[in-house]
A and B are shown apart, each in its own frame.
Chain A
Amino acid sequence: MIEVKDLYYTYPTGLEALKGISLTVNDGEFLAVMGQNGAGKTTLVKHFNGLLKPTKGEILVDGVSTRDVSVAQLARNVGFVFQNPDHQLFSETVEEEIVFALRNFGFEKAVIEKQVDWALNLLDVTQYRKTSPFMLSGGERKRVALASILAWDPQVIILDEPTIGQDHQQKEKLQQFILQLNAQKKTVIVVTHDVEFVAECSPRVILMSQGKIVVDGTAKKILTNPKVLAQASIVPPQITQIFLELADLGLPTDVIDVHEATKILLNRLRKRS
């Protein structure tokens, strides 16, 4: 469980990036942190594994204040997948890349071998085991980066802008993968401004703007509230926009998903005829 208590953070440059954030993320929860660029999303989640320490306020991870523990200790439970895989890949082979963290955490050799096999398989990169990560395509590099973090099986997984720069298919795969992680009772925290992605995954959402949480609730509630979204420079999903336009016909306005939309329209048309 992650508890954020009245968190303030000011960068050394003097910029106050977080202004009084309070939030609880329960075990096994799937949370999307949304908001425009510069809202403070990355700054917030960097506190969850201790990369940043509060200027004021406190973060408790499983009851322990992040001030009292090193990043390495926190990282054991809280995996953080950075936006750009090129900021972490450095090894000669994909296998080595995955071993890196396991060795840092002091796993035994036999365990390391087992976990590497497992992670390679999980992200479908086993065939690149002995390949240099630099030879892979962007999507593959992203998967290797993911594998290198999931390998130590952290309880909490944070993904910073996972869908950015990805094509449609990669996005769908990633989406399925994230849902699968959550189904396995992992706590998943995704930082994103991709409304279609959120509409399809339907997690709990917090919306940030200028270092504050504007609203906290279900995807359905937040994505269908254009007024609140506008504060964070986000536009509702296309399906929601269509239904908002048709509100005067008595259609519901809280629709985010295509399938749901189809059902509602079919019902309505059948009833009439």
Chain B
Amino acid sequence: MSVIETRDLTYTYPGVTKPSIEEVSVTINKGDFVILTGPSGCGKTTLCRCFNGLIPHFYNGDLEGKIEVAGLNVVDHQIHQIARHVGLVFQNPENQLFALSVEKDVAFGLENFAMPRDEMRKRVDWALQMAGISELSERPPHELSGGQQQRVAIASVLAMQPDIMVLDEPTSFLDPVGAEKIFEVINELNKKLGITIILVEHRLDLAAKYANHVIVMNKGKIALTGSPREIFTSEEARLIGVGIPKATKLYQHLKKHGIRLKAVPVTTEETADLLREILKND
């Protein structure tokens, strides 16, 4: 069942002539873990803004085509209505937290929904726990590390219990361990709660193993879509400049020299297992 469906979506920011996304048609199914990637400036953020109605409601501009998210026509619904279904986590952790304590930030959306205090307290505690930051609840966000801040941002979106979570390069300011923790939290939300995930990411070596669907954009258009294995081995992806995981690269190099592994590996473990097999078989 699809939760996001766009048809020939074209959008131009106000005051510019060239559309930032052009004729984008994507279908995303319920429970998917999607990685959205492509060179910077290709329109990933712009597409994310369409998913929760920031485009067209916050940015105005010129939107053509059709977009339906969680059964709602984005153009006909306000951002706060869509917010019940779609949560957006942004790149810069610093600029999406505005309260003086973590729990207050997590409660922000619920306060806007006018949720009664007792229920809100439960939800906040639950979201903090899911994001693994219960012990930070009373700390001021600006004293936390970038990775912790980003988990607060995830919790504050999660508290609204969305069906879909869109994360726009959430780890780009983090160190690898901080990034890994974020991916694990997201994966948990996807696998345990069934939340549909759309993750914009360049570091595919770290994120690829969690995804079942990869969308590559280039110059405002959808260039490729498919399973991680299909995308990482496609010549087009390489030409567009997608950062293919080293494990997959190793597979390709070996293939060039006439050595075929049984399957296309994406993760370390898969590669090690496949290599072990051929090294032993000899």
Say if the two chains contact directly (CB < 8 Å).
yes
Measuring CB to CB, which residues of chain A are less than 8 angstroms from any residue of chain B?
36-38, 137-139, 164-172, 193, 195-196, 233-235, 237-239, 241-242, 245-246, 249, 251, 258-259, 261-262, 265-266, 268-269, 272-273
> Which of B174, B175, B177 lies at the interface centre, i.e. has the most chain A CB atoms within 10 A of its CB?
B175
B259 touches A269 (CB 8 A): yes
Bound together, the chains give a CA A258 to CA B244 distance in angstroms of 12
B276 touches A196 (CB 8 A): no
CB of B47 to closest CB in A, whole Å: 16
Q: Given A167-B39, A233-B175, decide whether A266 and B249 contact each other with a Cβ distance below 8 A.
A: no
Bound together, the chains give a CA A259 to CA B245 distance in angstroms of 14
B40 touches A170 (CB 8 A): yes
Chain B interface size band reads 35 or more
Bound together, the chains give a CA A239 to CA B146 distance in angstroms of 27
Bound together, the chains give a CA A268 to CA B173 distance in angstroms of 40
Q: A234-B176, A251-B279, A258-B246 are in contact. List 19 more A-B contacts (CB 8 A).
A: A37-B146, A138-B40, A139-B41, A165-B91, A165-B169, A166-B40, A167-B39, A168-B243, A196-B205, A196-B246, A238-B205, A245-B268, A249-B279, A258-B253, A265-B275, A265-B279, A268-B279, A269-B279, A272-B282
CB-nearest residue of chain B to A233: B177
B177 touches A235 (CB 8 A): yes
Which residues of B from 250 to 265 have beta carbons under 8 Å from A?
A: 250, 253-254, 257, 259
Q: Which of B91, B176, B279, B282 contacts A233 (CB 8 A)?
A: B176
Which residues of B from 23 to 78 have beta carbons under 8 Å from A?
A: 38-41
- Whether, in the assembled complex, B2 has its beta carbon less than 8 Å from a beta carbon of chain A, the answer is no
Which residues of B sit under 8 angstroms from A268, Cβ to Cβ? 279
CB-nearest residue of chain A to B91: A165
Bound together, the chains give a CA A234 to CA B39 distance in angstroms of 26
A37 touches B176 (CB 8 A): no
- Whether, in the assembled complex, B133 has its beta carbon less than 8 Å from a beta carbon of chain A, the answer is no
Interface of A is mostly: helix
A239 touches B172 (CB 8 A): no
B145 touches A37 (CB 8 A): yes
B282 touches A239 (CB 8 A): no
CB-nearest residue of chain A to B145: A37
Q: Given A246-B276, A262-B253, A262-B254, decide whether A238 and B247 contact each other with a Cβ distance below 8 A.
A: yes
- Whether, in the assembled complex, B271 has its beta carbon less than 8 Å from a beta carbon of chain A, the answer is yes
Which residues of A sit under 8 angstroms from B250, Cβ to Cβ? 239, 242, 258, 261-262
Bound together, the chains give a CA A251 to CA B246 distance in angstroms of 18
Which residues of B sit under 8 angstroms from A238, Cβ to Cβ? 205, 245-247, 268
> Which of B91, B180, B282 lies at the interface centre, i.e. has the most chain A CB atoms within 10 A of its CB?
B282
CB of B119 to closest CB in A, whole Å: 36
Which residues of B sit under 8 angstroms from A170, Cβ to Cβ? 40
- Whether, in the assembled complex, B104 has its beta carbon less than 8 Å from a beta carbon of chain A, the answer is no
Q: Which of A38, A193, A266, A272 contacts B176 (CB 8 A)?
A: A193
B253 touches A169 (CB 8 A): no
Which residues of A sit under 8 angstroms from B177, Cβ to Cβ? 36, 233-235
Bound together, the chains give a CA A269 to CA B146 distance in angstroms of 45
Bound together, the chains give a CA A259 to CA B280 distance in angstroms of 22
Bound together, the chains give a CA A269 to CA B147 distance in angstroms of 43
Contact with A along B164-203 (1 / 0, CB 8 A): 0000010011111110100000000000000000000010
CB of A199 to closest CB in B, whole Å: 9
Which residues of B sit under 8 angstroms from A262, Cβ to Cβ? 250, 253-254, 257
Q: Which of A193, A259, A269 contacts B175 (CB 8 A)?
A: A193
A245 touches B254 (CB 8 A): no
Q: List 12 A-B contacts (CB under 8 A).
A: A37-B147, A37-B174, A138-B40, A138-B41, A167-B38, A167-B202, A196-B205, A234-B175, A238-B247, A242-B275, A258-B249, A269-B259
